Structure 1
């Protein structure tokens, strides 16, 4: 398997993760992590609430909240994985209870399962940079930045992260938290801004100019490719970095409008952008500007982003373009906020 050479960690350079349990394996990031494990010569065990067809032989349907911690602890004792990746969770749901359950209660269930199991794998928990307080524009978010999230999503993610760090500090889990910036690429959530832009482009009639309707594109975000994110997860699973929070991003603030334009270019379709308020807008994220400091990831993981954002846009479009063209919805289009992942 590919390894990251990071002499500062003092780890055994021959160590590599072979078996990885991926929670939320049917989701955007979970699918890419599973693929990365397989590409590196490992064996992913795919855990999702509902069965899916990506790899039936290695898929375990498991409702982490409904089934309780002991179903997962039994799985860990049976499979004896090197690592568990928690890629499960809810992103920007309108229902705060949904986010609390998915981003906090589920994490507590995973931690209880780890504590009950006789086998102790590394837990890589995927947090979010939206757990931080809004930064001053021009100031990169490092791991010492204050955690005062202003959105229900960020608040629910922070409670999950705090639970993981507490379990690690008390010796109940060998765990590391990766706080992810805005992850993009093939499989990007259709409820995100770029996912919605891609859907509008895909639905546009052939030969006609597409009209891409969005909320005002004022924000700048740190975007990172999902393939790079998966590489960071594998490094965190293998290296002795337990008990830490590590930010994962490209380390640059990119105007959201620029990313929309890159996606339009990747589609090859003529299009114009129409900005304006409308139904369905999530207007207040408290984060109009975001850039992630990546020094810790480089130092302790030997990791930095490798894929350019044009490549990310092409991969996003390739995945959307491979899908059947949906039946045209003639109802008024909703507008979407650039704050979504």
Structure 2
């Protein structure tokens, strides 16, 4: 089997960095080209999927000649227009460009648990269950996934969307609940303060280690065939956010109060329970998470 040429967008981001690390160690990868908005260095190209035109993207695909294209970019918050640009239009551009310039390549894009919206309490959600997102973020991620599903069904592009649940672990950004909690605990410890403010923490979420997410993305990218165009990536377990923040406080040595007094993020405030049914990705790719929650929380604080 010929070693694959992989083009990875968002390689410097929270998820993309971990994907790059896994791909770099995988013997099935021959050439890994990382794309980002920063300075160009060995093995990297500069490309902004939102700002660049379709001509630039087409040129890049012709230049790299990838067997696999992975998009780890996206936007969690912003105006409706910004979310559509980053989460929907980018996917549309990639589908068109891959079909035109790299028709034999596989395209992997990232979806979100936010596509499901509210789900029955206690019942892990499967890929074909109803999708009723409650905010613009989930709406745009669902639109992206539906574009992938349609392209795959029409055999225009060999494409797959991975619905990633709540990733945590090294490099966690502040847009994420646990990243926000870590930032505020660090500040409180530095200032000798005895309390931090977060939003409500009573909801249950499916927390999955970003390093496990990276292995799922790599599995989807390099598999000989992916028969399902939409796959959940999660731990399969719902945990109360308050308990996970408590674990973080233990790792941080923060003994102050956690005040649940800030507004909840609009993208998830209406969802009080969610967990992924991961049986499809286990059947399709043989993937399952390997890192436990405590290790993920420890890595979230240490990094």
Q: Is the shorter-chain TM-score for this pair beyond 0.5, marking a shared fold?
A: yes
Change (3 A) 1:16 1:189: farther
1:44 equivalent in alignment to 2:26: no
Residue 248 of structure 1 aligns with which residue? 233
- 1:257-298 C-alpha deviation (Å, 9 max, x unpaired): 1110111112233332112245x8548632110011111111
Q: In the TM superposition, what is the alpha-carbon distance from 1:201 to its structure 2 partner?
A: 1.5
Over aligned residues, Cα RMSD in angstroms?
2.0
Match of 1:27 among 10, 13, 18: 13
**Matched-pair contact (CA < 8 Å) for 1:65–1:109:** no
- Separation in 2, partners of 1:205, 1:293: 38
Change (3 A) 1:207 1:117: closer
Report how many aligned residue pairs link the two structures.
Answer: 300
Q: Which moved more, 1:161-170 or 1:70-79?
A: 70-79
- The TM-score with structure 1 as length reference comes to 0.82
- Separation in 1, partners of 2:136, 2:43: 34
Matched position secondary structure for 1:177: strand
- 1:91-149 C-alpha deviation (Å, 9 max, x unpaired): 1x141111111000111111111122045211111111211141110111011111121
- Separation in 1, partners of 2:79, 2:199: 21
- 1:161-193 C-alpha deviation (Å, 9 max, x unpaired): 111111122222111111111011111121221
Residue 130 of structure 2 aligns with which residue? 146
Match of 1:105 among 82, 89, 93: 89
Q: In the TM superposition, what is the alpha-carbon distance from 1:63 to its structure 2 partner?
A: 2.2
- 1:32-52 C-alpha deviation (Å, 9 max, x unpaired): 11111112243421112x215
Residue 238 of structure 1 aligns with which residue? 222
Matched position secondary structure for 1:188: coil
Match of 1:190 among 162, 165, 174: 174
**Matched-pair contact (CA < 8 Å) for 2:32–2:43:** yes
Q: Which runs of 5+ in 1 are unaligned?
A: 1-14, 320-341
Change (3 A) 1:155 1:304: same
Match of 1:86 among 68, 71, 76: 71
Find runs of 4+ consecutive structure 1 residues off by over 3 angstroms.
15-18, 205-210, 280-285
Q: Which runs of 5+ in 2 are unaligned?
A: none
1:258 equivalent in alignment to 2:243: yes
- Separation in 1, partners of 2:110, 2:280: 16
Matched position secondary structure for 2:42: helix
- Separation in 2, partners of 1:270, 1:305: 31
Q: Which moved more, 1:58-67 or 1:178-187?
A: 58-67
Matched position secondary structure for 1:57: coil
Q: In the TM superposition, what is the alpha-carbon distance from 1:69 to its structure 2 partner?
A: 2.4
Alignment of 1:53-132 (within 5 A): 56-91=41-76, 93-132=77-116
- Separation in 1, partners of 2:5, 2:194: 45
**Matched-pair contact (CA < 8 Å) for 1:200–1:211:** no
Match of 1:311 among 279, 295, 298: 295
- Separation in 2, partners of 1:242, 1:52: 37
